Amino acid sequence: MLTVRAPATSANLGSGFDVFGTALERPADVVRVERAEETTIEMSGAGSEFIPEDPEKNTAGAVAEALDAPARIKIDKGVRPASGLGSSAASAAGAALALNELYDRGLSRSELVPIAAEGEALVSGEAHEDNVAPALLGGFTIAAEDGVTCVDASLPLVVCLPDIVVSTRDARRVVPDTAAVEDVVDTVGRAATLTVGMHRDDPELVGQGMEDRIVTPARAELIDGYDRVREAALEAGATGVTVSGAGPGVIAACYESDRREIAGAMLDAFDDVGVESRAYQTRIGGGATIH
Ligand SMILES: Nc1ncnc2c1ncn2[C@@H]1O[C@H](COP(=O)(O)OP(=O)(O)O)[C@@H](O)[C@H]1O
Ligand SMILES: N[C@@H](CCOP(=O)(O)O)C(=O)O
């Protein structure tokens, strides 16, 4: 079978709601495909018992349909669903790259972004591209109306995933419909700062750019212990902390030398409020790879 490794991703990064995303070096999904008369899906791995194998309800099935590429698809989940780590997107991006290769469709990775986003539309109600873009292209991505821009960054990160489930569909319902002009001005400044920080692999600038007054406060309410975890990470040396994607994952930017301490502090802080969690000491990584 043709095999693709597709990385977890972290979208938004505070100031870039529905626009910014980064590929994470780990964890990742492994997607295997072979040609078939009709699409079937077999799931295994982290949280796979909660993911429908019906191709009409699985993000990989939506991609097979969009590419008109029926296949036997096996997905080994490294990324638990409803995590804020682009779990649904990893499978969609992996399937898009694998089926494009299997059927010789000849599409570029950029051209596969809107196809993989069909999977996101299936599960979250909207074809947001901020997870599938970095899962396919790697690095730090800016998914805008006019297309995706990619920065080849490799900043160290810690992502802490509490044992709480927040579905992206539900977390999109708490996003405010309007924002005050001064908050929009603040967001523009922070988004610009973060983008420069990614170009320079500068944890301080990226950290400053991760602050957000518009979307993140509403999302933080859905995560038990968020404020405590954020404070603990900052005290341990994180340069910025925010909700990863729609949550419940929490992401910290940092220097490599502080990564271990930050991971420990975040785990302890969740533990203090009675929530089990696991931490990934990772960094911005590459896009999906064919094996
Ligand atoms: N291949 C897949 N991988 C992960 N989740 C999937 C997949 N196909 C469908 N889903 C559904 O998508 C939802 C998880 O997606 P989402 O809420 O966006 O979480 P995440 O932030 O982890 O991507 C769950 O309801 C899950 O059952
Ligand atoms: N921009 C989206 C990103 C959702 O990411 P996920 O990893 O939680 O699926 C949003 O914030 O809704």
Write down the pLDDT at residue 113. 97
**Co-location of 19 and 104 in the same domain:** yes
Question: Is 87 among the annotated ligand-binding positions?
Answer: yes
Report the separation in Å between the CA atom of 245 and the middle of ligand 2, taken as the mean of its atom positions.
Answer: 4
Name which residue sits closest to atom 3 of ligand 1, judged by CA. 88
101 and 197 in a single domain? The answer is no
pLDDT tens track for 219-231: 999 999 999 999 9
* Domain coverage including residue 97: 2-151+286-290
Does residue 127 share a domain with residue 10? Answer: yes
Residue 133 and residue 189 in one domain:
no
Cβ neighbors of 104 (< 8 A, separation 6 or more) are: none
Is 126 noted as a catalytic residue in this protein?
A: no
Residue in 202, 206, 281 with CA at minimum distance from that of residue 242: 206
Q: How far is the CA of 58 from the centre of ligand 1 (A)?
A: 8
Q: Does ligand 1 have an atom closer than 6 angstroms to the CB of 75?
A: yes
Identify whether residues 126 and 187 lie together within a single domain: no
Choose which residue among 123, 161, 169 to substitute to test ligand 1 binding: the one with the highest number of ligand atoms within 8 A of its C-beta: 123
User: What CATH number has the domain bearing residue 163?
Assistant: 3.30.70.890
* pTM reported for the whole predicted model: 0.96
- Rounded to the nearest angstrom, the distance between the alpha carbon of 36 and the centre of ligand 2 is 32
Nearest CA to ligand 2 atom 11: 246
- Same domain, yes or no: 14 and 138: yes
Cis before 176? omega within 30: no
Task: Name the stretches of the chain with pLDDT < 70.
Answer: none
Question: What pLDDT, on the 0 to 100 scale, is given for residue 248?
Answer: 96
pLDDT for position 124: 85
**Ligand 1 atom, smallest distance to 169 CA:** 17
- What is the pLDDT, as a whole number, of residue 178? 96
120 as an active site residue: the answer is yes
From 10, 88, 131, the mutation candidate for ligand 2 (largest count of ligand atoms within 8 A of CB) is 131
Residue 183 and residue 52 share a domain = no
119 shares its domain with 195: no
Distance 255 CA to ligand 1 centre (A): 31
As for how many domains the chain has, the answer is 2
Predicted complex ipTM: 0.97
Q: How far is the CA of 165 from the centre of ligand 2 (A)?
A: 13
Those residues whose C-beta lies under 8 Å from the C-beta of residue 62, and which sit 6 or more positions away, are: 55, 56, 92, 118, 119, 121, 122
Is the domain of 146 the same as that of 160? no
Verify whether ligand 2 is closer than 6 Å to residue 131 (CB atom): yes
86: annotated binding-site residue? yes
Sign of CA dihedral 160, 161, 164, 165: positive
Is 61 annotated in a binding site? The answer is no
Per-residue confidence (pLDDT) for residue 126, from 0 to 100: 85
Q: Is 264 annotated as a binding residue?
A: no
Considering the domain architecture, whether residues 192 and 223 belong to the same structural domain is answered as: yes
- Per-residue pLDDT tens for 258-267? 999 999 999 9
- Cβ–ligand 2 contact at 248 (below 6 Å): no
Indicate if 63 and 132 belong to the same structural domain: yes
Name which residue sits closest to atom 9 of ligand 2, judged by CA: 86
- Together in a domain, 32 and 125: yes
Cβ of 168 below 6 Å from ligand 1 = yes
